[in-house]
Structure 1
C-alpha cells in the first residue's frame, strides 16, 4: 500500500448512494408520495386557470368554484411541499449520521500499517471536509434536487399533454441548458477531485509544520516550510479557479435560457390559436407550466455544484473501503504462547529488504532483549512480532498461527506492542485506559506504573492534557489491564526520567512475571538483565545468547557493551 489513499469510481459512488437509499426505504417512500401529491396540486392551478380563460373567451358565466379550486390547490401544494421537505431533511440527517459512522468504522478497520503510512492530512481532510460536504448534501441539496427533479418531470408531462406542439417547441428552447449542463458534468468530477486532493495536501503541509514546529525552529527550516506550504496553497488556488470557471460558464447560459421556452410557446401557441388549432386556455396553461419550470430548474442548477463537489467527496470517502486488506479467514486459535520467526524478509514500500532471513524462537515466559545500532531492523522486527506489519516472505507465528492473521481483539489478548508514541484521547482518564475493569483495578494498574498523579479517574485529558512521561505511564497501565502473555517494549520508557523509568521497569518486571517480554532498547542494562539477547545488524540476527555468553564470545555484542561503558 502506497502513501496515497484510493478514490472510488463513479459506479462505486452510485452504489453507495443506492445503499443509503435502501437503508431508508420507508422514508424515501413517504418523501416520494408527498412530492407526488404536492406536484399534482401544483399542476391543478394552471389547468383550472386555463378553464377559466376558456370560459371567459366563450362568453360563458364565470363561476367562483374554479377560482376556489385554484386557492385550494395552492394551499395543498404548500402543505404537501412543507411536509415533504421536512421528511427529506430528517432523512438527510439520518443518512449523514450513517455516513459518519461508516467512515469512522472503516478508518478503525484499516490495517495499522496502512493507517500509519498514509498522509495524515489526506485522512483528516476526508474525515472532516469531505464527510461534512456529503452530510450537507444529503441533508439539504439531495432532498431539494430530488423534489425539484420530480416537479420538472411532472411539468414536462403536463406541457406535452396540454399543448403538444406549442409545449414541445418551448421545451426545445431548453436545449441550451442541457448542453451547458452536460458540458459541466463531464468536467466537474475530475475538477472537484483535484480540488479535494489539493485541500488534503494543504492540510498535510499544515499538520506537518505544526507537529514539527520545534524541529523547524531548531534547524532554521521556516523559509523552507513556508515555500512548501505556499506551493500547496497555490495548487489549491489553481484547482479552485478551475471549478469557479466551470460554474461561470454554466450559470450564465442557464439564466439566459430561462425566458426562451415561454417566448417560444407564446409565439407558436398564438399561431395555433389564431388558426383555431389550440384554445386560449391551453396556451395560458402551457405558459404557466413553463414558467413553473423556472423554480425547480433553478433549484437544480443552484445545487448542482454541491452535488458535484459532494460526489467527488463521496468518491474520496468511499475510497477508504477500497484500501487493500488481507483476505478474511479463520486462522484458528494459537495452541500455546510460543512465538516463532522463520526466514522472515520485509521491505518498506517496495524498497530494499530491511529484514533479511531472520530466524528466531521466543520461549514462553522468556525475557528477550533485542539490541543493535540504529537502522539494524529492531523496530521493524518488533512490528512484525506484534502483527502490525506482515512479512514479505517467511512467517511470524504465535502458537502456530500467523500473528498478522489474528483479529484485533484476539491479537490484543496475546501480544501488545508498547512504543515511545502513545495517543491520549480527549476524554476522561477512565475512558483512556480502554478497559471495562472496575475502578479499583484501574487505580491499581496506575499505581503499579508509578502514576501518582492519577487521582481522579474522571479527569478530562482533553482539557487537562498529560505530559510525555505521564502519557507513557498511561500506556503501560493499558498493558497491565490488557493482560497479554507477550509484551513488546520498543523503547517504552525512553521519555521517562531515569528515576521514574527504573521504577516503572521494576513494576513491570513484577507484573509481567512468567510472561514473555521482548524489549527493544539501546540501553544495554536491559540486555544485561534479560534471559537472552538477540543482536541485530543490517536486518539480520547476528548473535543470540545470554549476556555472559555474548561478552565471552567477544563479537558484536561485546563491542556494543564496551562502547556503552566508555
Structure 2
C-alpha cells in the first residue's frame, strides 16, 4: 500500500489563509463594506415595521402608514441592489484567491521530487488534484463569502436588537449553551474525520488507477477477483469514514435547530410579559420578534457552511501538504565546479534493512559515455536514478562538480543531469510545442534540429499539419516509438551536460535503435552520457562499461578490456555475439542475454 503524501497542520493552514486574503485587500474590504451596507439596509425594515404597528395601534392615520410602507419597500430594494453587488464582489475575491491557490498547487506538484511521487503513488496525488481542489473551489466560491455575510448580519442584527431594547436581547442567551456545546463537540471531531475521509478516497483512487494501468497484467495473471476484493475493501473503509462524518452532522444539525427556535419562543414569552407590565411598547416587541426571526437565516447559513468550511480546511491542508516533503532550498553559493560526477560508497534501499545497492564507487569524467549492463534486478535502473537525482542515497554521496546532488534546487539539478526512461508522455499540443516545452524560447530551427538528431524530423514533417499537428490525448495518434523519439528530442533541446538514458531506445527495433544512438552520439558530443542498456551494441560503442550484479559494480572498463578479462561481461558478449548481430534481428537481445531494465 502506498504511503500518502503529508498533510499540513492547522497553524500552516491558518497562516496560509491569512496570507492569501492579504494579497487582495481592496477587493476584500470592498466586499465586506458592501455586505455591511446591505445588512444595515435590511435592519431598517423591522424597526419601521414596529413604528407602523404603533402608528396603527394609536390611529395616526393613513398618511403615516403609506409613508412607512414606502420606506420599507425602498429599503428592501436598496438591500437587494447592495446584496447583488456584494455577491459579485465576493465572487471576484473568491476567483482571485482560488486562481492563486491553484497556481501555487501546480507549482508545488511540479516541484515534488520524483521519488516522493513514486513513494506516494498516483492515487493520492490524483485525489488531491481533483476532489480536494473541487472542495476548495466550493469553499472559496461559496462557503467563505456566505460565512462572512452571515457573521456580519448576525452582529448587526444583535446590535440593532440591543438598540431597540436591551431587555429583549436577553432571550438570545437561551440559545448560547446549546449552540456552543453542540458546535464545540462537532468541531473537535470533524477535522480529523474529514481528513480521514479524504485519505480513504485517495486509497480508492490509487487502487483503481493501479488496476487500470495494469489491466493486461491483472487479466494475464487472473487476478481480477483479488483486484475487485481490494476495491471493495477500499470502498468499505471510505463508506465507514463517510458514515462517521454523517453521524457527526446528524447529531450537530438537530442540536442547532433547537438553538434557532428557543430565542424566538423566549422573546415572545418574555416580550409578552414585559408588554403586559408596560416595560416595552408593542412596536418594540414587534421589532424585536422580527429581528430574532431574522437571526435564524444567517445563523443557519453560518452553521451550515461551517460544515463546508471543515471540508475545505481538510482539503486545503492536503493541498498545502504536497509541499511538506520538499527538500530545503540550497544556498545560493552552492554551485558545481565543473561537470565531473563522483559516486562514493553509495548505498540505497527502497525499504529500510533491504539494500538494493551496496557500496558503489564510480567516477564519470566530463564527456564520457558509460554503459551500465547486468542481469535483471541487479540495480542498474536504481543506479541511474541516483545519478539523475531522482532518489537520494541512503548512504554515501553523489556529487557533481564537488557539490552534492541533494544540495541542488530541482531546476538547477535538471539543468545539470537529466533522465530519460522508457516511460514517456506526449502532452496535448503540437509536435513543436511538445519538443520546445523544455525551452519555450527555442526557435523553429532549433526544434527541427532536435527532431533531426533523433531521426524524427522526416515522419514529423509527414504528419497532416507537419510540426503544427496536434498530438496527445484526442490528437493525432503517435506510436510508442515516435513518442519516445519526442522525449529524446526534448532532451537534446534541453542540453544538460549529463544524460542518463534508461532504456531510452527500447521501443525502437534494434537497427533503428543503433542508428539513433549513433546520431545522438554525434549531437551529444562532449556531454556525459550514461546508457542503461540491454542491447550490447550500446556497451560496445561506449567508452567504458560497468557491469552491475547484486547491487555492486563487479566489472568496470572498456569493451575490449572486459572481453579480454574473460569475466561476466565477456560471457554476456560471447552469448550474444555468437548467436545474432544487431543487423539481422528485430527481436530484443534481452531475450537471449537476460539483460533487462530493472523495475524497482
Which TM-score tier does this pair reach, normalised by the shorter chain?
over 0.9
In structure 2, the partner of 1:450 is: 455
In structure 2, the partner of 1:468 is: 480
Residue 418 (str. 1) matches residue 424 (str. 2): no
In structure 2, the partner of 1:330 is: 332
SS in 2 for 1:342: strand
* CA gap 1:481/1:324 in 2 versus in 1, 3 angstroms: closer
Match of 2:491 among 467, 479, 482: 479
Residue 519 (str. 1) matches residue 521 (str. 2): no
Q: C-alpha distance in 2, partners of 1:547/1:502?
A: 17
Taking the TM superposition and a 5 Å limit, the aligned residue runs for 1:63-82 are 63=64, 64-82=66-84
In structure 1, the partner of 2:382 is: 380
Displacement after TM superposition at 1:537 (Å): 2.0
SS in 1 for 2:455: coil
In structure 1, the partner of 2:446 is: 441
Q: C-alpha distance in 1, partners of 2:434/2:248?
A: 48
Residue 296 (str. 1) matches residue 308 (str. 2): no
Displacement after TM superposition at 1:291 (Å): 0.7
SS in 1 for 2:467: coil
In structure 1, the partner of 2:22 is: 22
In structure 1, the partner of 2:367 is: 365
Check whether the contact 2:330–2:408 (CA below 8 A) recurs between aligned residues.
Answer: no
Q: What's the CA shift string for 1:345-391, capped at 9, x where partnerless? A: 22224343322222111122222111222222221221122122222
Question: Where does the alignment leave 5 or more consecutive residues of structure 1 unmatched?
Answer: none
Q: What's the CA shift string for 1:138-186, capped at 9, x where partnerless? A: 1112111210111011112222332323321244145434433332222
Taking the TM superposition and a 5 Å limit, the aligned residue runs for 1:81-480 are 81-173=83-175, 175-330=177-332, 332-433=334-435, 434=437, 435=439, 436-451=441-456, 452-455=458-461, 456-461=466-471, 462-463=473-474, 464-480=476-492
Instruction: Decide which moves more: 450-459 or 224-233.
Output: 450-459
SS in 2 for 1:84: helix
In structure 2, the partner of 1:555 is: 567
Displacement after TM superposition at 1:21 (Å): 1.1
Q: C-alpha distance in 2, partners of 1:485/1:278?
A: 87
Displacement after TM superposition at 1:508 (Å): 1.1
Q: C-alpha distance in 2, partners of 1:236/1:408?
A: 36
Question: Where does the alignment leave 5 or more consecutive residues of structure 2 unmatched?
Answer: 580-600
Residue 502 (str. 1) matches residue 508 (str. 2): no
Q: RMSD of aligned C-alpha atoms?
A: 2.0
SS in 1 for 2:459: coil
TM-score with structure 1 setting the length = 0.95
Match of 1:539 among 546, 551, 555: 551
Check whether the contact 1:13–1:318 (CA below 8 A) recurs between aligned residues.
Answer: yes
Check whether the contact 1:369–1:533 (CA below 8 A) recurs between aligned residues.
Answer: yes
Q: C-alpha distance in 1, partners of 2:411/2:442?
A: 16
Q: C-alpha distance in 2, partners of 1:278/1:501?
A: 95
* CA gap 1:412/1:322 in 2 versus in 1, 3 angstroms: closer
Check whether the contact 2:41–2:75 (CA below 8 A) recurs between aligned residues.
Answer: yes
In structure 2, the partner of 1:530 is: 542
SS in 2 for 1:322: coil
SS in 1 for 2:422: coil
Q: C-alpha distance in 2, partners of 1:514/1:6?
A: 42
Q: C-alpha distance in 2, partners of 1:556/1:142?
A: 67
SS in 2 for 1:484: coil
TM-score with structure 2 setting the length = 0.90
Q: C-alpha distance in 2, partners of 1:331/1:378?
A: 33
How many residues of Structure 1 are paired with residues of Structure 2 in the alignment? 565
Displacement after TM superposition at 1:59 (Å): 5.1
